[in-house]
Amino acid sequence: MSDIRNSNPDGEDYEPQIGPASTDAVGLAAGGSAAPLPGEDKSYSQGQLVARRFFRHRGAITSMIVLGVIIVVAFTSIGIGPIPGWWPKDYTLQYDKIGDGAPTWEYPFGQDTGGKDYFSLVMRGTQFSLIIAFAVGIISTVVGTLIGALAGFYRGWIEAILMRITDVFIIIPLLAVAAVLGRMAGDSGIWGLALVLGLVTWTSLARLVRGEVLSLRERDFVLAAQAVGTGAWRIITKHVLPSAVGVIIVSATLSISSAILLETSLSYLGFGVQPPDTSLGTLISEYQAAFTTRPWLFWWPGIMILTIALCVNFIGDGLRDAFDPRQNRTKD
Amino acid sequence: MTTLDISTPGPASATGDAVLSFEGLDVTFKTEFGDVHAVKGIDLEVRPGEVVALVGESGSGKSVTSMTALGLLPRNARINGTVRVGDKTVNALDGKALRDMRGNDVAMVFQEPMTALNPVLTIGDQLTEGLQLHGIAFGKQATARAAELLAMVGIPEPERRLKQYPHELSGGQRQRVVIAMAIACDPKVIIADEPTTALDVTVQAEILDLLRSLKDKLNTGILLITHNMGVVADMADRVAVMLKGDLVETGTADQVLNHPRHEYTKRLLAAVPHLGAGPGQFGDVAAVTAAPEDLPALDLRNLVIEYRRVGKPTFRACDDITLSVAQGEIVGLVGESGSGKSTIAKCALGLIPAASGSVSLLGNDFRKMRGKELKAMRRRIGVVFQDPASSLNPRLPIGDVIAEPLVVHKEGDDKSRRRRVLELLDAVELPRSVYNRYPHELSGGQRQRVSIARALTLDPELLVADEPTSALDVSVQANVLKMFTALQERYKFACLFVSHDLAVIDLLAHRVVVLQNGRIVEQGPREEVLHHPREEYTQRLIAAAPVPEPLEQRRRREARHALLAQLGDDVTELHVEDDYERPQPRQDEGGNASGLGGFMTDAGN
Amino acid sequence: MLKFILRRIGVSALVLLGASFLMYMLVINSGDPLKDLRESNAQNREQLMAQRAELLRLDDSPLERYWDWLSGVLGCFTGNCDLGVTINGVQVLGLTQQAAASSLRLITLATLLAIVVGVALGILTAIRQYSGFDYTITFSAFLFFSLPVFWAATLLKEYAAIQYNNWIAVGQYAPWTIVIAAAVVGFVLQAVLGGSTRRRLVTAGSAFAFVAVVMFVFNALNWWREPTFGLAGVLVVSGAAGVLVTALVTGLRNRRVLYAALTTTVVGVVAYLAFAPLLVNQPSWLLLAGLFVLTLLVSAGIGAAWGGFSRRQAVLVTLVTGVITSLLVVGDILIANWASFLGLKSRPISTIGSQTPNFTGDFWERVLDMGTQIILPTVLLTLVSVATHSRYTRSSMLETLNQDYVRTARSKGLSEREVIVKHAFRNALIPITTIVAFDFAALIGGAVITEQVFGWKGMGALFQDGLNAVDPAPVMAFFLVTGVAAVLMNLVADLAYAALDPRIRR
């Protein structure tokens, strides 16, 4: 009985000051991961805790590195716009073919049927695919968040109208509406394509954010803010959306990966990137017949798409675990 | 090391060998932040027909202890010591033997009856599966037996209830179903983990009556896990006090509650508000100084609040509510769940609209104000909510949380705001170092102090407090209440204090308003309403609230039973027929489960 | 409940109307329908352009054209459908019927498969969380939904179709193929079933031996080219299936249910004997459908008769067993026809088309032809959806396994199987229904690509050709079919939701 350390008269010392709020079986089963390391006296914001959990996700970190390398190589090798890259060959020029154009030291990805350097072509395609994917990700996230937040926060007729609009977009197969819009925007280059794709892919995020906002607006801290007289805009931006940031970021990541695939599908159907621009989708589409004769023309762009989408998906998974640690049990 | 005084003479009903015993139980959890030593070598036993109360605050390891008896701890738990149920050693059993033991030898009653029952299965399904599993009854017999069990725990129309789903039952009935499930296979011992915490006080009294008659009539041993000293006083034969994984004190209920030896037990008991003891338990409450001609801080007139629901008739949450809070006065709003007390609080804050009637703050009608006027009005009200986990924005550091009202109303500059926040932190007795910390780094009590500080930031004339202490441990609650009375004395704010806990209201409020089903039943000065209630409902409510003293509680219980008899109600008890046969496992229709069925078995514990 | 459904249908109809208007306007503004004629050098260019402008009513306002299209569609309710004509003057209605038949066949099959496989994998990975099996499935799931569909299709064509066709010409496995295949099966099985090291070794060893022996024997019998299954095969496999289903649903201790399942298989086999002449001599889709309904009725009857106190579970078990038995019967007939089918079509899986043109076989051989043609696109479509479903099921399952009522169930002494099947799974299914409905729309999009890759003349082609020609009628027909299918699917999901969750029944 003597080893009761806290025996000063202030009863509150019996509360754990910092650390797992509860040692109940359930709390521990769920990982109790909201708590910082025992004994550490440093202060962590939610964001820092999320980052710590994210960096423990090995798949996500590997994917981060791989994706980083791909982005750096794609943009520095052949340069972008007027800025030249370090790769000596140009994707527009036709070189003398070495043999049947199979990969060599000089042409690591081989040459296409006309003798073009396939490495620089693939890099060019990767650039375009990445730009479109990230632009679409950003646009659809902004639109989806805005619509979802407004619908969830204001309820009533605003919600009814916004959600019916969302339903309209959901009921048209995404590929169909993207194809129609892509065809219309085909002439305005990749930015036009990115814009229209972004404008049709926000629906699932809007629904998610609305659901999240619906539950958040009933939370006590939002009610407390309202009771003080906080304006709607401040409540949405300062109290509601920061708490929904997990859902938003994860969804944004996944929309990037689906945008990559959507763009390649559209380009394959002929409604996406138009020549002379090149994306990974147009490359595969153009060379799929060469599978048996010149397999490298088929493999490289496909592997590129696959790798990028896989990395983005894994990063999304890591973020999901980091933001929502409930299912992230301690391993034994 | 903790020692348990086993030689303490048990009550007369406790006979025979222990049905549940822990010897040197020690549990450690491996978590991603290192090991957590949850239970540190405790000894405890429960004998047949005996109620042993395991008392402690959250995080003391009491729930973990109970789960070891069923072998239900998560896989990251390391268990040392011996746990025995009857003659079985739980931690030596293999999967099959463990499953045979669960439900059959030891059963569990959980805290939250809504989540403890499977929402998609009927009550009948959930009751009969245990019977069939342990080979007690099959088919129609099992159904009949299930109906019998429901009748035993006092659920009317048992046959109809069997076909219903949990959401169609009230909270109290659900808990009765959970108890029926627990006694289905006639276990030797029942572990009740906070069985009444989620229930209203009148329902709590009924469930406790039921549990008491259960041990009397079936001679079942009960390990009662609770943090509520009133429940302990009402139920327990023996009490064990747990603190941070250690047993610090054990003894009979009388010994522990009336003559505590350990510092912690003493402090714990001192922290329990005592219904009937009136104000002054945790600091004096200032008298109301407002003159009758002063405008009331809050004035509700014939207030009606309705919820519109899709596809269903409109629900009237509050009907014809008229009450007022004078300046500097604390009005306690009391009622059970669903009585509409939180709804009234939210309406007084302008968070939900009134269907009719008026809400006036210091003479200004809330419903007639718009825009700037409304915003200016809002700065004169502060609010404290119940759940410390959700009342603070998890993304903002404490300093920002408390300064938020100043920012919203564009008061002062960064420097003056900081000064005000630090001042408030001092006032709510929090270290200034929490300024840069985040809510998740604070304990529940600390968070609630932050909530109160935020409510006081703008020096409001009215504070609306919606169950501000009900989510807190009792010693934390005492500290928060102490601080609250001190602050009220200092700032002289009027307060609408919503609570289901009559003892808290008794020590705090000047006047009390009792609500039932959205209507006011009784209101008046505290002494009158709480000590000389006129209305039947108030009498029931007060009679059902337990006090933390065994003898007094026994008197109160008998008085309550007398009151019930006088009102023409039955006292809840287990209905056991004279020819009641103890269920015996019998040979079932088939052999053992084959390997095919077993292919998922090792995924368990 | 009925009111709720009617309300949902009403809202869906409005949404459908809005979407159709949006789609129509977008399509007619997506390009210049006269582009090809403007660039042509034909003599009668002006005349052709005028003709087409007349046909597409380019001079009328878009609203009028939309209204016209809409009234034609609304005519479907009164029995005279008019979906307009294509740019070449063909009636779209006829085109749509053909296209929808083949597309919906593909999509429905893929959806069903994806649900079964995806949900099963999701449950297994949730139970074996953080095992090697879990990691493998998780990684595969990510891989599959990162796959560009048409790229994977090319791979499938090469490795699953062309190389299989080359191999079946001989139809013998090389010894090392057998060893590798058996080893893979053994390894996978032990990972799925888990247990102690010893149990894993036993599982892997026996699986390895079984597969290897079977494959060698089949080689010796030239089974791959001339396979037989036979009555005994049907009886044994459907009996095993009955036992497995019983074990999963109620556990084998419940003898009544087990006997009910076994009775179903025996009755099924006897019925097979009785109907064999009819099935072999005068097969038709109508007959198959009729027999299937009969199977369901008889199975349910057997379950109800045997069930006793666990009637509901018994009926469920006998229904599932009955369906499995009937599938096995059909499988048996198809297998018996395989050799003659190979005789007609020596390279069984061709990479183009939904059926072989001018194929001259009897009923069963035509079924085999359609079957082999649908395999690859289905696999492709299914993979992506399986990935989604398995992930959702896994997380939904993990969520429910953490719930209090699961703890209650365990505290009653239920086995892990009962906890999972009876308590966790039913609850986990509730959110999954919504996901399945949503995923259906994505599947339709995937089907457009898949049809294009495999040269199916389905809804995808209708859409793509229409859009290329800026021809609204076929594009809108595509939209109509997919939109209505999506609405129906959502309705089914709503009903399933209500069936699964008593809390929202009204």
C208 and C280 assigned to the same domain? no
Which of C408, C419, C420 best tests the B interface by mutation, with the highest count of B CBs <10 A?
Answer: C408
Per-residue pLDDT of B282-307, as tens digits, reads 777 777 777 777 788 889 989 999 88
Q: What is d(CA C86, CA B506) in angstroms, rounded to the nearest whole number?
A: 82
HSE at residue A134, side-chain half, CA atoms within 13 A, is 8
Residue B470: pLDDT over 50:
yes
Nearest to B546 by CA among B203, B212, B230: B230
Q: Taking 90 as the threshold, does the pLDDT of residue B241 lie above it?
A: yes
Residue of C12, C25, C30 to mutate for A, most A C-beta atoms under 10 A:
C30
SS3 (DSSP) at B83: strand
Backbone angles phi, psi at A94, to 5 degrees: -100, 125
Instruction: Give yes or no: residues B194 and B70 share one domain.
Output: yes
The domain boundary, picked from C164, C187, C221, lies at C221
Same domain, B315 and B221: no
Please compute Rg for chain C using Cα positions.
26
Query: Do C193 and C243 share a domain, yes or no?
Result: no
**pLDDT for the residue C208:** 94
Q: Which of A175, A183, A184 sits opposite C445 (nearest CB)?
A: A175
The answer to whether the CB atoms of B64 and A25 lie below 8 A apart is yes
Domain of C255 in residue numbering reads as 228-345
Which of C345, C370, C395 lies at the terminal end of a domain, its last residue? Answer: C345
Query: What pLDDT is stored for residue B244 in this prediction?
Result: 87
Q: How far is CA C237 from CA C216, C229, C322, C329, in A?
A: 20, 10, 12, 11
Return the percentage of chain B with pLDDT > 70, whole number: 92
Listed residues B551, B572, B593: the one ending a domain: B551
How far, in Å, CA of C389 to CA of C432, rounded?
A: 8
Residue B388 belongs to what domain range?
298-551
Residues of C in contact with A304 (CB under 8 A): none
Task: Give me the pLDDT at residue C157, please.
Answer: 86
Which pLDDT belongs to residue C183? 93
- Over the stretch C265-306, which tens digit does the pLDDT of each residue have? 999 999 999 998 888 888 888 999 999 999 999 999 999 888
Contact C149 A284 (CB under 8 A): no
Flag whether B305 is in a domain: yes
Residues 6+ apart with CB under 8 A from A22: A32, B58, B59
CATH code of the domain in which A278 resides: 1.10.3720.10
Rounded to an integer, the average pLDDT of B413-422 is 91
Worst-scoring range by mean pLDDT, A23-27, B406-410, B585-589, C8-12? A23-27
**Backbone phi, psi, residue B578, to 5°:** -65, -35
C193 with C265, same domain: the answer is no
Alpha carbon distances (Å) from B528 to B240, B292, B517, B524, C434: 37, 20, 22, 7, 56
Domain final residue, candidates C198, C221, C244? C221
User: Residue A116 — left, alpha, or beta (φ > 0 → left; ψ -120 to 50 → alpha)?
Assistant: beta
pLDDT the model gives residue C155: 87
Same domain for B183 and B329, yes or no, is no
| B202 occurs within a structural domain | yes
Query: Could you tell me if B148 and B190 lie in one domain?
Result: yes
Q: What is the mean pLDDT of residues B180-185?
A: 90
Mutate to test the interface with A, among C127, C146, C380, C401 (most CBs of A within 10 A): C146
Q: How would DSSP label each residue in A146-161?
A: HHHHHHHHH-HHHHHH
User: What pLDDT is attached to residue C297?
Assistant: 94
Q: Are residues C257 and C238 in the same domain?
A: yes
Instruction: Count the neighbouring beta carbons within 10 Å of the beta carbon of residue C166.
Output: 10
User: Touching check for A31 and chain B: CB below 8 Å?
Assistant: yes
Does one domain contain both B162 and B265? yes
Residues B323 and B458 in one domain: yes
**CB contact A221 to B (< 8 Å):** yes
The answer on B262 and B317 residing in a single domain is no
Contact C423, B121 (CB under 8 A): yes
Does residue C52 form part of some domain? Answer: no
pLDDT at residue B404 tops 70: yes
Percent of chain C with pLDDT over 70: 99
Query: How many domains is chain A partitioned into structurally?
Result: 1
Q: Residue B86 in 3-state DSSP? A: coil
pLDDT at B7: 41
How do beta strands B20-31 and B330-334 pair? unpaired
Find the closest chain B residue to C419 by CA distance.
B604
Give Cβ neighbours of residue A6 (< 8 Å, ≥ 6 apart): A13, A14
Are B320 and B223 part of one and the same domain? no
Q: Are residues C241 and C265 in the same domain?
A: yes
CB contact under 8 A, C402 and A30: yes
Contacts of C468 in chain A (CB under 8 A): 270
Q: Domain range for residue A272?
A: 46-77+119-323
| Backbone phi and psi for residue C421, each to the nearest 5 degrees, phi listed first | -70, -45
List the one residue out of B177, B180, B196, B209 whose CA is nearest residue B111.
B196
Of A173, A281, A288, the CB nearest to C441: A173
Nearest chain A alpha carbon to B270: A11
Q: How is B209-276 classified by DSSP, letter by letter?
A: HHHHHHHHHH--EEEEEES-HHHHHHH-SEEEEEETTEEEEEEEHHHHHHS--SHHHHHHHHTS--TT
Could you tell me if B72 and B151 lie in one domain? yes
C503:B119 CB<8 A = yes
Strand, coil or helix: B497: strand
pLDDT score for B5? 42
The predicted structure's pLDDT at residue B411: 87
State whether B72 and C501 contact (CB < 8 Å). no
The answer to whether residues C189 and C214 belong to one domain is: yes
Is the pLDDT assigned to residue B601 strictly greater than 50? no
**Total number of domains in chain C:** 2
φ, ψ for residue B359 (rounded to 5)? Answer: -125, 110
Q: Which helix (H) or strand (E) holds B525?
A: strand B519-525
* pLDDT in the model for residue A331: 34
A291 to C483: CB separation less than 8 angstroms, yes or no:
no
**Which of B529, B551, B573 is the last residue in one of the domains?**
B551
Among B510, B527, B551, the domain-final residue is B551
Q: Are residues C336 and C240 in the same domain?
A: yes
Question: Domain for residue C284, yes or no?
Answer: yes
Q: Is residue B571 less than 8 Å (CB to CB) from chain C?
A: no
**pLDDT score recorded for residue B582:** 63
Give the per-residue pLDDT at B6.
40
Q: Does some domain include residue A59?
A: yes
Decide if B4 is inside a domain.
no
Query: Residue B147: its pLDDT value, please?
Result: 92
pLDDT band for B311, please (50, 70, 90 cuts): low
Q: Is the pLDDT reported for residue B343 higher than 50?
A: yes
The answer to whether residue C311 sits within a structural domain is yes
- Decide if A109 is inside a domain: no
Predicted local distance difference test score (pLDDT) of residue C239 = 93
The label of the residue with tokens 């899709």 reads: B310
Q: Are residues B242 and B310 in the same domain?
A: no
Residue of A20, A234, A242 with shortest CB distance to B408: A234
Say if C292 falls within a structural domain.
yes
DSSP state of B310: T
Contact call for A183 and C467, based on CB within 8 A:
yes
pLDDT tens for each residue of chain A, 332 residues long: 333 333 333 333 333 333 333 333 333 333 333 333 333 445 567 778 788 888 888 889 999 999 999 999 998 888 877 888 788 888 777 888 777 777 888 888 888 877 888 898 899 889 988 998 999 999 999 999 999 999 989 888 888 899 888 888 888 888 888 888 888 776 677 888 888 888 888 988 898 899 889 888 888 899 999 888 888 889 998 899 888 888 888 888 888 988 888 888 888 888 887 777 788 888 888 887 777 788 888 888 999 999 999 999 899 888 888 887 554 433 33
For residue range B134-157, list pLDDT tens digits in order. Answer: 888 877 888 898 998 898 888 888
Quick check: is B354 in a domain? Answer: yes
The number of folded domains in chain B is 2
Residue A313 domain-assigned (yes or no): yes
Is residue C67 in a domain? no
Residues of C in contact with B597 (CB under 8 A): 247, 251-253, 415, 417
Please determine, for residue B543, whether its predicted confidence score (pLDDT) is greater than 80: yes
B96 and B243 housed in the same domain: yes
The ipTM is: 0.81
At B585 the pLDDT is 56
The number of beta carbons lying within 10 Å of the beta carbon of residue C199 is 14
Judgement on whether residues B115 and B255 belong to the same structural domain of the protein: yes
**Chain mean position to CA A185:** 24
Contact residues, chain C, for B107 at CB < 8 Å: 411-412
Question: What is the overall mean pLDDT for chain B?
Answer: 84
Q: What is the pLDDT of residue B52?
A: 94
B420 touches chain C (CB under 8 A): no
Residues of chain C short of pLDDT 70, as ranges, are: 1, 505-506
CATH of the domain at B508: 3.40.50.300
Nearest residue on chain B to C259, alpha-carbon basis: B590
